[in-house]
Amino acid sequence: MNKKLSRTPLLHTLSLSLMLAIGTAQAQTPAEQELLRRVDQLAAELAKLRTELAQLQQQAPTQPSAPAASIAALVEPAPAAQARTVLGGYAELNYNRPNNNGKDAQADLRRLVLGVQHRFDEKTKIVTEIEVEHAVASAGDPGEVAIEQAYVEHQFHPNWALRGGLFLMPMGLLNENHEPTAYYGVERNFVETAIIPSTWREGGIQLVGQLDSGWTLQAGIATGFDLNKWDAASSEGRESPLGAIHQELALARSRDLALFGAANYRGIPGLLLGASVFSGQATHSQQAASSRITLWDLHARWTPGRWDLSALYSRGSISNTAALNMPLVGSDSLIPARFDGAYLQAAYKLWEQGSYVLKPFARWERFNTASRYAELGAGLTPEASDSERVVTLGANFEFAPGVVLKADLQRFRLNKDLNRVNLGLGWSF
């Protein structure tokens, strides 16, 4: 992977992201295959730029844009004409079997995502992803079709780019990198599902900077949550407070917009340290009381040798919930004032032969979707929930680049009915 890079100034821009990717790949993270794919894509773009540079140096007339008809999966560097449009995708097929309630066992094509990236020129590209959940989406079926990403990115400076459109929030370890090949366990972890509502995207503008020092900085302004969607009669809010009120840029209420920021440090090979925050008003002048929702997280990932260790803590808060909950008193799911969760995870590359890689892992999680309620008065204030604790033991088995077979056991401390065995098959390209 130690490609010898051109020092040509014109190519220096791309070398930043390429070297970052290589550095991470050398650290042999679990997302290695995914990173390799991205490195290859970058190499393809590099090759294209080399060609264009050669043309410029020969003072040849500038060529018009090549036809964008070639939609091809690029797993190897491709001729420049084919590198402009890249097709990718991932899929996740899961089987869950509760230990004590076999009749509730379920198999599901959880999601299949097709993505298309197109680069208009060396500075500007679009990223799009279309997702189908649960295999069939129709009036009588549970499925859903959604746009997961649709944004334009313009690199206006060697270190800085601007994104506009529908993009994933840069929070936690999983939200922006959520392909099944990129995380351990059949199911995404609870903290980055119930607290950070992956896959969480908003519409807006985002500034992305990659600094010489190893910092990646992201900040912007985006649509936020809609507390008017809170359904106190439904259990959705108890399962994921923010998952119940996100808008996904589908006619999103945007009287009030939100601010977000993230900082990730990758300056030391194999180490990632990061933090993020999101904050915005969420009642959009539809309620008597306004309310601010703030979510933040701290995360770390360290990949020394064969080990892959990660930790994350996230906390959310919703202001003014006393006023908002007053008309909802007595209902099943009142709006919590605070919710949080944390996990620790350790994985180890136990065995590797050819394309076969076996990585057992263990994860401990604690999360609480309603750790505090605002005081409503005697008899009216709901009791805060107890924290659920989950231990997951399992393994990811990669038998081809970008294809993973998963198996794990999950033990719940509070709701033991949820104890289960999970099997999963996923791929990403």
Alpha carbon distance 241, 41 (integer Å): 37
Q: Which is nearer to another protein, 14 or 91 (CB)?
A: 14
Q: Exposed, middle or buried: residue 118 (CB in 10 Å: 0-12, 13-18, 19+)?
A: middle
The count of residues interacting with another protein (CB under 8 A) is: 53
Q: Which is nearer to another protein, 64 or 330 (CB)?
A: 330
Q: Which is nearer to another protein, 219 or 425 (CB)?
A: 219
Q: Using the rule CB under 8 A, is 244 a contact of another protein?
A: no
DSSP state letters, 277-301 = EEEEE-STTSSSS--EEEEEEEEEE
Q: Which is nearer to another protein, 82 or 381 (CB)?
A: 381
Q: Using the rule CB under 8 A, is 156 a contact of another protein?
A: yes
Radius of gyration (Cα) for the chain, nearest Å? Answer: 23
Q: Using the rule CB under 8 A, is 207 a contact of another protein?
A: yes
Q: Using the rule CB under 8 A, is 63 a contact of another protein?
A: no
Measured CA to CA in angstroms, residue 274 lies from 170, 172, 301, 315, 322 at distances of 10, 8, 9, 15, 33
Q: Using the rule CB under 8 A, is 21 a contact of another protein?
A: no
For the chain, what's the residue count? 429
Q: Which is nearer to another protein, 128 or 290 (CB)?
A: 290
Alpha carbon distance 393, 390 (integer Å): 10
Site string for another protein, 317-336 (x = CB under 8 A): ------x--xxxxxxx----
Among the residue ranges 141-149, 216-224, 350-358, 393-401, the one whose residues contact another protein (CB under 8 A)? 216-224
Residue 427: both structure tokens together: 């791929």
Using alpha carbons only, give the angle 297, 302, 307 rounded to the nearest 5 degrees.
135
Among the residue ranges 43-51, 117-125, 249-257, 304-312, the one whose residues contact another protein (CB under 8 A)? 249-257
In the bound complex, what is the minimum distance in angstroms from residue 204's beta carbon to another protein? 9
* Cα atoms found within 13 Å of the Cα of residue 270, Cβ hemisphere only: 11
Ramachandran sector of residue 48 (left: φ over 0; alpha: ψ -120 to 50; beta: rest): alpha
Q: Which is nearer to another protein, 89 or 164 (CB)?
A: 164
Alpha carbon distance 163, 278 (integer Å): 17
Provide the b/e sequence for 251-290 (b: ≥16 CB within 10 Å): ebbbebbbebbbbbbbeeebebbbbbebbbbbbbeebeeb
Question: Contact with another protein (CB under 8 A): which of 322, 380, 393, 423?
Answer: 380
Among the residue ranges 41-49, 69-77, 85-93, 151-159, the one whose residues contact another protein (CB under 8 A)? 151-159
Question: Contact with another protein (CB under 8 A): which of 126, 259, 263, 309?
Answer: 259
Q: Which is nearer to another protein, 182 or 262 (CB)?
A: 262
Question: Contact with another protein (CB under 8 A): which of 123, 157, 306, 416?
Answer: 157
Question: Contact with another protein (CB under 8 A): which of 31, 80, 194, 258?
Answer: 258
Q: Using the rule CB under 8 A, is 9 a contact of another protein?
A: yes
Closest to 258 (Cα-Cα) out of 185, 318, 308, 210: 318
Among the residue ranges 109-117, 296-304, 375-383, 418-426, the one whose residues contact another protein (CB under 8 A)? 375-383
Q: Using the rule CB under 8 A, is 158 a contact of another protein?
A: yes
Question: Which positions ≥6 away from 217 have C-beta within 8 Å?
Answer: 207, 208, 209, 210, 211, 261, 262, 263
In the bound complex, what is the minimum distance in angstroms from residue 415's beta carbon to another protein? 19
Judge contact between 299 and 323, C-beta under 8 A. no
Closest to 276 (Cα-Cα) out of 292, 259, 265, 260: 260
In the bound complex, what is the minimum distance in angstroms from residue 385's beta carbon to another protein? 17
Cα torsion angle, 195, 312, 201, 33, sign? negative
Q: Which is nearer to another protein, 333 or 392 (CB)?
A: 333
Contacts to another protein by CB under 8 A: 9, 12, 15-16, 19-20, 139, 156-160, 162, 205, 207, 212, 219-221, 226, 228-229, 231-233, 255-259, 279-281, 283-290, 292, 323, 326-332, 377, 379-380
